[in-house]
């Protein structure tokens, strides 16, 4: 049984990331240099001595073009210095006469610390036949997106935590998938979704069993569901921590920010029931750990900076 830690927010001086933010903002350290990516339809990159001493953000370059926006939501620096990333793509024109789209998740790799990227292809897509152009939530007619990824300590598996907006209501919600880290350079067809107790469904078109099912169908105007997971390893708690949004109503009205915990990254059933830590708030809650400890969005300790939409006005404190 996982003990449920206590979490509180305490006021801090305001800090803004140096570019617009409309997703998770992944970051890493390369030696003593801190690098972060921020996206609002196209990713920007900044680096500096710490999260609080960053250069002017510059747009990254891809070696291909896509029909629609692209958001880098996670990066992982491999031991050999190669930077791997994963993006949320929103294809345009899926539902003519509307602004609705249905996201997909793709993989990328960089040999110059994220300034330029080579696209490795899509790795997570919703099942065919699930597009709903009559969706009333205001944004999505299906798809998979709004995600993060974590590499396990043994560097055997990469775990995806993503929003599934497609299919029957019992299939919608925050879901998981995994891929062997050894397949990172050729990931297409190598990702497997969690479904009915097994990693048994293909990343491309397969079904899911969500770890946090939607409360009300995403396709309805009164949708009610968790989304936008951001996961980190907490060195103080010795547990994995997930921050979540909860949307309640068309336009994805922000009901609050929630937290969940797990001691076992490999077990989707191990996550605790989400507990609210903030009423309302803004989209995309995440941490950035203490720069003295080379903290990132994926690694933090007892006290970390708490961001929403790229702005921090609080520290987040974790207690056992």
pLDDT attached to residue 3:
64
- What does the alpha-carbon distance between residue 296 and residue 76 come to, in Å, rounded to a whole number? 11
For the cut 80, the answer to whether the pLDDT of residue 2 exceeds it is: no
Which pTM does this prediction carry? 0.98
Rounded Cα gap, residues 177 and 262, in angstroms: 16
Written out in words, the top-level CATH class of the domain with range 6-319 is: mainly beta
Q: 10 Å Cβ neighbour count for 55?
A: 12
Interval 155-177 mean pLDDT: 98
Q: What is the mean pLDDT of residues 53-81?
A: 98
Yes or no: say if 74 and 147 are a contact pair by the CB < 8 Å rule: yes
Q: Is 22 exposed, middle or buried (0-12, 13-18, 19+ CB in 10 A)?
A: middle
3-state DSSP call for residue 233? strand
pLDDT confidence band for 192 (50 / 70 / 90): very high
Q: Is the pLDDT of residue 223 over 70?
A: yes
What is d(CA 42, CA 40) in angstroms, rounded to the nearest whole number? Answer: 5
pLDDT, tens digit, for every residue of 204-222? Answer: 999 999 999 999 999 999 9
pLDDT at 300: 98
Judge whether residue 304 has pLDDT over 90: yes
**DSSP for 17-78, written as a single string:** -SS--SS---EEEETTEEEEEEESSSEEEEEEEETTEEPPPEE-EESS--SEEEEEEEEEE-
Chain center to CA of 221: 24
Q: What is the pLDDT of residue 96?
A: 96
Tens of pLDDT along 241-284? 999 999 999 999 999 999 999 999 999 999 999 999 999 999 99
Q: Which two tokens stand for residue 98?
A: 């509307």
Task: Say what the pLDDT of residue 248 is.
Answer: 98
Domain extents for the chain? 6-319
pLDDT digits (tens, 9 = 90+) for 81-138: 999 999 999 999 999 999 999 999 999 999 999 999 999 999 999 999 999 999 999 9
* SS3 call for 256: strand
- State what percent of residues in the chain have pLDDT above 70: 99
């Amino acid at each position: 049984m996982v003990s449920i830690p206590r979490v509180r927010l305490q006021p801090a001086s305001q800090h803004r990331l140096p570019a617009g933010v409309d997703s998770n903002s992944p970051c890493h350290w390369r030696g003593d240099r801190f690098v972060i990516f921020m996206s609002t339809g196209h990713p920007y990159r900044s680096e500096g001595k710490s999260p609080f001493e960053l250069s002017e953000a510059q747009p990254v370059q891809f070696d291909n073009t896509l029909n629609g926006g692209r958001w880098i939501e996670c990066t992982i620096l491999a031991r050999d210095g190669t930077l791997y990333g994963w993006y949320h793509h929103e294809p345009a024109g899926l539902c003519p006469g509307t602004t609705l789209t249905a996201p997909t998740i793709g993989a990328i790799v960089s040999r110059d610390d994220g300034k330029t990227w080579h696209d490795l292809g899509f790795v997570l897509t919703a099942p065919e036949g699930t597009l709903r152009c009559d969706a009333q939530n205001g944004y999505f007619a299906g798809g998979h997106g709004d995600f993060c990824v974590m590499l396990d300590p043994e560097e055997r598996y990469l775990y995806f935590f993503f929003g599934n907006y497609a299919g029957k209501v019992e299939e919608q919600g925050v879901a998981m998938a995994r891929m062997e880290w050894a397949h990172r350079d050729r990931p297409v067809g190598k990702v497997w979704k969690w479904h009915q107790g097994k990693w048994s469904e293909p990343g491309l078109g397969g079904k899911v069993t969500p770890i946090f099912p939607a409360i009300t169908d995403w396709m309805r105007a009164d949708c009610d569901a968790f989304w936008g997971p951001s996961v980190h390893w907490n060195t103080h708690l010795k547990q994995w921590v997930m921050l979540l949004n909860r949307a309640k109503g068309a336009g994805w009205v922000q009901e609050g920010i929630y937290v969940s915990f797990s001691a076992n990254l490999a077990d989707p059933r191990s996550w605790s029931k989400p507990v609210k830590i903030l009423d309302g708030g803004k989209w995309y809650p995440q941490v950035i750990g203490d720069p003295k400890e080379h903290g990132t969005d994926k690694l933090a300790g007892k006290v970390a900076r708490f961001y929403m939409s790229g702005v921090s006005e609080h520290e987040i404190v974790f207690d056992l």
